[in-house]
Structure 1
Amino acid sequence: MLISSAFAQTAAPAAAAGGGLQGSLMSMLPFVAIFAVMYFVMIRPQMRKQKEHRAMIDALAKGDEVVTAGGLLGRITKMDENFVSLEVATNVEIRLQRSAIVGVMPKNTLK
């Protein structure tokens, strides 16, 4: 008696699910919705920010005043394909990767 009622309780929800292609598509819908939300909230803005940073790095020129990821302000004195030399004080130059530059400052910021 106890076993037959257990089978009856599990069989009813399985029959109500409908099965088939439509049931499997409806069960995948929440996962697709979560992925779409994550794409528009997290992935897409990050890709846009990377694209803007790459364009800023490509547009650097000698004499630009920039700020680095470490917070140093300096003027570009020499440029290479991968590296930049910054003058951070009179007769003090440092060499760093181009990707370490996070922003270009307005002209005459450094005095």
Structure 2
Amino acid sequence: MINVKENEILKKLGQRLKSARIELNDPQKEFAFRIGVSIPTLYKMEQGNPSISIGTWVKALSMLGKLDDFDKLIAHRESLFERYEVLEKTKNRQRVRRQK
């Protein structure tokens, strides 16, 4: 069971999906066909229904050109060691000045 906050987030996500679809002038029937779902399923997505599979959301985001946004949800954390190595490499560089 999802809580109130999670439900609100799903509703907002559904609203953004609907807005993006409408912005592209893509009717429900055609968009539903392209992502491989029925019109009632697309309607449920746009209402923020939590029963929609994540695979369906990925397909919809792909059709909207937003798949990179989905990939950022749980992004790889930057390692402090990697950041330190990069800083050390740039710190040891010497700037070469051009003679005038």
TM-score by length of 2: 0.30
Higher relative contact order by CA 8 Å / sep ≥ 6: 1 or 2?
2
TM-score by length of 1: 0.27
Higher Cα radius of gyration: 1
More helix by share: 2
